[in-house]
């Protein structure tokens, strides 16, 4: 009877201390989070051209004035295309910058 109590107490101590013997495992958990970045608003603005001259202006003008009106409007449209292309270049550069950040 005395031996069985000693055995029972010894088993209880072994169970008690064996649970504390192992070190806890450190688990690293990585969380991936996607963040959508928008391009700058000035690159997304619509390219608008001024309206051309009115019909009345064109009909009342002489030949040299008609040529000047047409040339000025063509130059204005060309300038608008150049500005839009610069905006597109800005968007392309923005995209490359974001891709290089994402690749790191």
The reported pLDDT for the residue numbered 18 is 67
Sequence spans of domains, the chain: 2-103
Q: Are 53 and 73 in contact (CB under 8 A)?
A: yes
Query: Distance between CA atoms of 94 and 37, rounded to whole angstroms?
Result: 10
Question: Mind listing the pLDDT tens digit for each residue in 1-20?
Answer: 777 778 787 887 777 666 65
Contact 103, 52 (CB under 8 A): no
Which residues, including other chains, have CB under 8 Å from residue 47's CB and lie 6 or more apart?
80, 81, 83, 84, 87
The pTM assigned to this predicted structure is: 0.54
pLDDT over threshold 70, residue 97: yes
pLDDT in tens, 48-85: 888 888 889 999 999 999 999 999 999 999 999 999 99
Could you tell me the two tokens for 54?
Answer: 């009115």
pLDDT (0 to 100) of residue 22:
63
């Amino acid at each position: 009877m005395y031996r069985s109590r000693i055995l029972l107490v010894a088993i209880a101590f072994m169970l008690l201390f064996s649970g504390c013997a192992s070190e806890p495992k450190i688990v690293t958990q990585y969380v991936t989070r996607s963040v959508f970045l928008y391009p700058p608003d000035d690159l997304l603005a619509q390219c608008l051209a001024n309206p051309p001259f009115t019909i009345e202006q064109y009909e009342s003008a002489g030949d040299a004035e008609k040529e000047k009106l047409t040339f000025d409007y063509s130059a204005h449209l060309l300038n608008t295309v150049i500005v839009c292309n610069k905006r597109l270049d800005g968007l392309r550069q923005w995209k490359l910058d974001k891709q290089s950040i994402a690749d790191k």
